[in-house]
Structure 1
Amino acid sequence: MVERQFNTKLKQVQTDWGGEFRSLSSFFQSLGILHRLSCPHTSEQNGVVERRHRHVVETGLTLLAQSHVPPHFWQFAYDTAVYLINRMPSRSNSSLSPFQHLFKHPPDYSFLRVFGSQCFPHLRPYNAHKMEFRSTPCVFLGYSSQHHGYRCLDPETDRIYIARHVRFNELCFPFKSLQPSHKPGLPPSLDPYTSVYPTPPLLDDLLDQTPPVTSPQPPHPDVPANTAAVIPDPPSPPSSPPPTLHTYHRRHKQPASVQPPNTTATIAPPSESTAPSNTQSVQHTRPSNLRQNPKKTTPYNISSFVSSTTDPNTEPATFTIANNFPQWRHAMAEEYSALMRNGTWSLVPRVPGSNVVDCKWVYKIKRDQQGHIQRYKARLCAKGFRQQQGIDYSDTFSPVVKATTIRLVLSLAVTQQWPLRQLDIQNAFLHGDLQETVYLQQPPGFVDPAKPDHVCLLHKSLYGLKQAPRAWFHQLSTTLHKLGFQGSKTDPSLFVYSSGGTLLYMLVYVDDIVLTGNNPQVIDTVVQQLGHSFPVQDMGRLSYFLGVEVLQKGPDILLSQQKYILELLQKAGLTDSKPLSSPISTSANLALGDSPPFDNPARYRQVVGALQYATLSRPDISYAVNKVSQFMHFPTTNHWSTVKRILRYLKGTISYGLLVQQNSSPVLHAYADATFNTLTAFTDADWAGCPDDRRSTGGYAIYLGTNLVSWSARKQKTVSRSSTESEYKALADAVAELTWLQTLLQELHVPIQTVPTLWCDNLGATYLSANPVFHARTKHVEVDFHFVREKVAKRQLSVQFISTDDQIADVFTKPLPSQRFPNLRSKLRVASRP
């Protein structure tokens, strides 16, 4: 920079012997630059820099204190301090600022604004349509070093916008109402002169420690007394590379007294947190789909850090906190030892100009179905967001098994009395082979003292890498193919083994596996052979998969999310609410702007997102959840009331789940076939039901025998000009799903005894499916017509008329009265747990 910008040759550089400068020695030597060092413990030999460093720190602390900005934004306060110091007149420069002394012209002081003040950036380019707000209340966090613009933080999403056109309210400081009171100044753990990574005990000593998980140890005596002022994620030292400025996301754990432990295995539903009432000034209702990263964050909560620093049974947010407890130190040592045994990396000298990815420890307490602690788990994760596409990663897609496939395989296993076996692959992502060259920083707390400047050259994938799921799935697929399994073309995460009379099914969701089949001896052999390639934990009979309890009910099973729903009720504060008999009122006519805006749209989106996950085993709430999901970008108080009604209904039916039966009488309706390998579908539509755009809601329910395996309640993408058209669109969607299920059953070697039957309560749609009738009112749905008509003509399915009273799919298209709803709910196979 000195040579390019100022046409001056750099001859000497003087530093201390800090770790951040050691790797520069070879670089300076290659350029012929003399690297001078101050003597150990003799900072006065580098006094000018030390004094400037103090000036920057004191100015940054002043900015934080004056603006009430939380300490974890120190990076931006220090950057702003440097920006201001360079533009302030100095007596050492003849009353000129360093900027003017260097660039020969005065700085533009009109560009300066008050740090931490309220600002409103122009966000019209981010909007998808003209009805969205042009701005949102933000907090000014300084100046961009790469743009001629301002950094504006959205407190609701923790996203930072870089904007040139910004309006300021320099008398208002939003964080003043958000930050809890504490003594001014940064705590010692955030002092930039102090290392935030204390030296851990030796690895051998850690491995010898086996603290019981049921008897927590007292907190470490070295924890500072003023840790209550520390936020959940302490920053890295100032020498670490700054974060990406365009988006800035932070996550904070809720205290254990507020949020119960989450035991959801893999599909993690959005977490919910209630923002304080005094944060309404920074809330906004811009559509969430306009953000580059729609993940939601929780507000700054100091009590969560207090809990995590004093209780070993709370998941710590940082290495600094975790290192105070022997349980977490042992967990980190155990994970590090596993990485070394696996040959995950080798230490190599840093290659100049290479992209070195940071890493961090992530901590998780594994609990059983009753919430008891089973294991303290520490996982080393790469910060994959620092990877560069085309350099250290390329393709990233990796499939997971579909929920419909899971229900279909469970139905086949139950009806044929096959055993259901559950497996878990330990450290699954660590077994994938990397095709790209990826460099990683040495893990915090485990830096090799003989090679502190080296980096890790990864040979195996690691959690957090963008290509890690793909590498693991490729490794697992290759191993299963060698064992004789064939991957399904319909669902790549389903593997089928067929040899002679033996038939096995394997469902794979990342590292969670369900194995079933007609030969228990072969299943045992497969588990043993799989254990030769990976560390397999045989969890025995299937009992808990993807956060869903699998309960035995005689020869049947019940898929229940009772624990998850209870946690959701606790988060929403509705555990003591009065239960209701239906999830949505028959008088509900939700529309945009039908009532005053809801004051906490982030909370609305979090709860509705959690309800979407609950539909995995609760089809009876699918229609209601679909309706409230249509107002994520601008919820009103009426929409929130409907959400609370759904939660109150779940409270009254918390023990209910999806029943998968071995044998059942034909209770769907009088003419339904109940054999276990027969597909039956019901389809319905509510014509022009949306008051905003008059689009229709279509729905279907598909049964294998009498077990519900697939359903849908969805708003149609286009407006229908007649009820026949809306019904026919819903019918076409059901036919597409039936076709997919037929192909899947063929891959599972399950013969279909009869042609699938699709029941529709609209005579016009039924006639259109069997007769080539076209006229002006139906010719614009010709594609759907030909698709369905072709299936009917080839006798691949049969479309039959059914009365509205017997139409099960009604529950997916409209609110139902409390007298009819329980009857259809029972036909959806939603029943109470034993």
Structure 2
Amino acid sequence: MLRSDRGGEYLSIEFLDYLKECGIVSQLSPPRTPQLNGVAERCNRTLLDMVRSMMSRASLPIHFWGYALETVAHILNLVPTKKVAKTPHEIPSEDVVFVARRGFFRERELIFKEDSGSTIDLEEIQELPDNATLGETSNQQEEEVPVGPTDISLPLRRSSRVSMPPEFYGFHITTDGDTFVSDRTLINLDEPANYREAVAGPESAKWKEAMDSEIKSMYDNQVWNLVDNVSGRKTVGCKWIFKKKTDMDGKVHTFKARLVAKGFTQTPGIDYDETFSPVAKIKSIRIMLAIAAFHDYEIWQMDVKTAFLNGKLTEDVYMNQPEGFVDAKYPDKVCKLEKSIYGLKQASRSWNLCFHEKVKEFGFSRSEDESCVYVKASGSIVTFLVLYVDDILLMGNDVPTLQDVKSWLGKCFAMKDLGEAAYILGIRILRDRKKRLIGLS
């Protein structure tokens, strides 16, 4: 597989045909998300760090930057890696290694140089006093210019202005003396930051019920087994995340407690490997909605409860027992995770692979151009399925077939039927089936 960032050179028909001939699958990360292509980004950082180091020592003009990059790439190709026994330089496509006999290296000369003189000295920015004008400040600077050498060892002047936090944006609109909020998504919902705040606050009963439901899901999905904690074994921490879910009008309808693992403590190659997982692009969802509106298809919405708990782990991951739910009989034991859990590096990928296998069993095939759009056709009956993490859109022209898909998904996963699609990913869906029109707000 080749994962790219949607650059034009990766989207040409000639290049895609060449990949197919070589048996290479093209994966495209969403626009403006280079962090999803971590391998390439880390490689770019390595290259540029070496280039900056070389250019800071060499007394060369800035336009030699490209030659420094080529030199760095050549050096890295001579360095052995863990993946293969030989260096990239030893295994070129022509099976030929060319070594120059003559060359003059000037490392010693560059090492003993102080610097290249290419750095830029930045002048200190003097902030204006609150009650001063630009003219007064310029006159003061003219009067205070010292004559003769100055002491450069003096500490930098720090601003005495008091930092004021910005006001909370509520988009309050006043009409005829009445004030209302036009964007309810920005209202502070007073969500607890940790377990202690949740159990001590005025809404503790609702948060306790939400945590009990989350733990029950863990046991129902057989997410972990309690095992003895071996000395020296690395364990991953966990914490509770509390969220109040609102509807399209901003009203709270669900208290959600999520147990998440502290995935930032995981070690690559030990308790996780691949992490990439595709999601449906927003423009793909908009296109599918437009197609459904034009052909007057049904548009239904479903939500997967605790989706990530369905993914099976292939690595050995150990986690501490969750706060507030430590087993009284075995307080010193740790949880050996059998299924993925929210917060793990590989959680999203494990869930996506699990879902893909299940929908394939039901006869769906994945779109070649969009990894999270599935289609199933039988004669004149067509059904589409769009997946965005744990949100599902079902579209089709036959209600019994859609009901069969719902029933199948309900057998495979814990599902929540949301009926006709009205609100997904922050988008309100407004539909006029008589005119075959659809509006997205």
Question: Which bracket does the TM-score occupy, shorter chain normalised?
Answer: 0.5 to 0.7
Aligned length: 288
Match of 1:315, as an amino acid? E
Query: Alignment partner for residue 501 of structure 1, among 380, 384, 393?
Result: 380
Residue 386 of structure 1: aligned partner = 265
Q: For 2:334 and 2:123, how far apart are their aligned partners in 1? A: 43
Query: Alignment partner for residue 458 of structure 1, among 311, 317, 337?
Result: 337
Q: CA contact under 8 A between 1:331 and 1:376: conserved in structure 2?
A: yes
Q: CA contact under 8 A between 2:225 and 2:335: conserved in structure 1?
A: yes
- Give the C-alpha shift of residue 409 in structure 1: 1.6
Q: CA contact under 8 A between 1:548 and 1:559: conserved in structure 2?
A: no
CA gap 1:483/1:549 in 2 versus in 1, 3 angstroms: same
Q: For 2:419 and 2:378, how far apart are their aligned partners in 1? A: 24
Residue 440 of structure 2: aligned partner = 560
CA gap 1:441/1:255 in 2 versus in 1, 3 angstroms: farther
Q: Deviations over 1:648-673 (max 9, x none)?
A: xxxxxxxxxxxxxxxxxxxxxxxxxx
Say whether 1:355 aligns with 2:234.
yes
Q: Deviations over 1:324-346 (max 9, x none)?
A: 22211211121112111211111
Q: For 1:453 and 1:384, how far apart are their aligned partners in 2? A: 21
TM-score by length of 2: 0.59
Residue 45 of structure 2: aligned partner = none
Query: Alignment partner for residue 318 of structure 1, among 177, 194, 199?
Result: 194
CA gap 1:518/1:449 in 2 versus in 1, 3 angstroms: same
- Give the C-alpha shift of residue 391 in structure 1: 0.4
Match of 2:262, as an amino acid? K
- Give the C-alpha shift of residue 508 in structure 1: 0.5
- Residue 276 of structure 2 aligns to a residue whose secondary structure is coil
Q: CA contact under 8 A between 1:414 and 1:555: conserved in structure 2?
A: no
Q: Deviations over 1:466-520 (max 9, x none)?
A: 1001000011011000010011121110101112332111111000011111211
CA gap 1:543/1:504 in 2 versus in 1, 3 angstroms: same
Q: CA contact under 8 A between 2:431 and 2:439: conserved in structure 1?
A: no
- Residue 378 of structure 1 aligns to a residue whose secondary structure is strand
Residue 375 of structure 1: aligned partner = 254
Say whether 1:420 aligns with 2:299.
yes
Say whether 1:342 aligns with 2:218.
no
CA gap 1:318/1:530 in 2 versus in 1, 3 angstroms: same
Q: How does 1:746-765 map to 2 (within 5 A)?
A: none
CA gap 1:169/1:262 in 2 versus in 1, 3 angstroms: farther
Residue 527 of structure 1: aligned partner = 406
Q: For 1:491 and 1:173, how far apart are their aligned partners in 2? A: 53
Q: For 2:342 and 2:154, how far apart are their aligned partners in 1? A: 42
Q: CA contact under 8 A between 1:359 and 1:380: conserved in structure 2?
A: yes
Q: For 2:196 and 2:301, how far apart are their aligned partners in 1? A: 36
Q: For 1:512 and 1:443, how far apart are their aligned partners in 2? A: 27
Q: How does 1:803-818 map to 2 (within 5 A)?
A: none
Residue 786 of structure 1: aligned partner = none
Higher relative contact order (CA 8 A, sep 6+): 2
Q: For 1:133 and 1:331, how far apart are their aligned partners in 2? A: 57
Structure 1, unaligned stretches of length 5 or more?
1-123, 138-166, 181-253, 264-270, 272-303, 308-312, 562-834
Match of 1:520, as an amino acid? V
Say whether 1:485 aligns with 2:361.
no
Q: Deviations over 1:577-630 (max 9, x none)?
A: xxxxxxxxxxxxxxxxxxxxxxxxxxxxxxxxxxxxxxxxxxxxxxxxxxxxxx
TM-score by length of 1: 0.32
Residue 410 of structure 1: aligned partner = 289
Residue 301 of structure 1: aligned partner = none
Q: CA contact under 8 A between 2:364 and 2:375: conserved in structure 1?
A: yes
- Give the C-alpha shift of residue 412 in structure 1: 1.7
Query: Alignment partner for residue 420 of structure 2, among 537, 541, 550?
Result: 541
Structure 2, unaligned stretches of length 5 or more?
1-51, 57-61, 66-117, 126-152, 173-180
Q: How does 1:65-464 map to 2 (within 5 A)?
A: 177=162, 314-324=190-200, 325-464=204-343
Match of 1:364, as an amino acid? K
CA gap 1:449/1:368 in 2 versus in 1, 3 angstroms: same
- Give the C-alpha shift of residue 179 in structure 1: 9.4
CA gap 1:169/1:472 in 2 versus in 1, 3 angstroms: farther
Q: CA contact under 8 A between 1:327 and 1:376: conserved in structure 2?
A: yes
CA gap 1:133/1:397 in 2 versus in 1, 3 angstroms: farther
- Give the C-alpha shift of residue 455 in structure 1: 1.1
- Give the C-alpha shift of residue 453 in structure 1: 1.6
Q: For 2:210 and 2:124, how far apart are their aligned partners in 1? A: 43
Residue 721 of structure 1: aligned partner = none
Q: For 1:500 and 1:406, how far apart are their aligned partners in 2? A: 24
- Give the C-alpha shift of residue 352 in structure 1: 2.2
CA gap 1:523/1:136 in 2 versus in 1, 3 angstroms: farther
